[in-house]
């Protein structure tokens, strides 16, 4: 398996918060992280049918445009009773339509959409689910590597907690009674799907 060296790594995001989070995780391994946004790189269309496909689309686009190794992630909520939906469309389910208000994402609406589909299945519907995260590294010459992490849990209703984001207020990780939105951020990060994916990446790339 190809390894990253002590080189500049492009994080395929235009989100400063995500750059900061990923950069901090990789700093101990000598990686200098810069964002695709800071380089003025365009955001590719995420046309994949899986998290891995979308992560690779973003990583490869950044690597080809920058000439540097690049890292991208794709993540979402997968509900067992809904056949794995919303899955790669996790963020799309929160996207407001023109008749629903100002442009942007409404996560309470998205949580309500999931709950509504479960309600249609009846009171005995399986509420099991998981959050998934896929990290993809791509090199300019076409090499790539993919790492997946998951955290298993179940859905609760109504939402609880004010921390976290997205579907966190309705997701209860297995072995706990609190939603992710009721976890301290550092506690959540230790057990999250992104943490699990990063653990696999670090173990393979840096032997840690």
- Catalytic residue numbers, as ranges: 74
Give the C-alpha separation, 87 to 92, whole Å: 10
Two tokens, residue 186: 């550092």
CA distance 189 to 12: 20
Q: Which residues of 104-119 are buried (b: 16+ CB within 10 A; e: fewer)?
A: eebbeebbbebbeebe
Secondary element (H or E) of residue 117: helix 107-121
Question: What's the residue count for the chain?
Answer: 208
Q: How far is CA 29 from the centre of its chain?
A: 22
Question: Secondary structure of the chain: what % helix, strand, coil (to 5)?
Answer: 40, 25, 35
């Amino acid at each position: 398996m190809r390894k990253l060296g002590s080189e500049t790594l492009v994080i395929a995001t235009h989100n400063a918060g995500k750059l900061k989070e990923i950069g901090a995780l990789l700093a101990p391994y000598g990686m200098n992280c810069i964002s695709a946004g800071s380089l003025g790189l365009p955001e590719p269309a995420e046309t994949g049918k899986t998290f891995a496909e979308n992560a690779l689309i973003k990583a490869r686009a950044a690597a080809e445009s920058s000439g540097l190794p690049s890292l991208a992630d794709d993540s979402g909520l997968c509900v067992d009773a809904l056949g794995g939906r919303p899955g790669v469309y996790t963020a799309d389910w929160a996207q407001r339509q023109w008749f629903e208000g100002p442009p942007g994402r409404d996560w309470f609406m998205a949580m309500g959409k999931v709950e509504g589909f479960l309600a249609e299945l009846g009171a005995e519907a399986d509420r099991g689910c998981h959050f998934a995260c896929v990290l993809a590294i791509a090199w300019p010459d076409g090499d790539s590597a993919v790492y997946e992490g998951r955290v298993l849990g179940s859905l609760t209703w109504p939402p609880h907690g004010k921390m976290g984001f997205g579907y966190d207020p309705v997701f209860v990780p297995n072995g706990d009674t609190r939603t992710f939105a009721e976890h301290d951020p550092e506690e959540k990060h230790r057990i999250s799907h992104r943490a699990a994916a990063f653990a696999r990446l670090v173990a393979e790339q840096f032997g840690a």
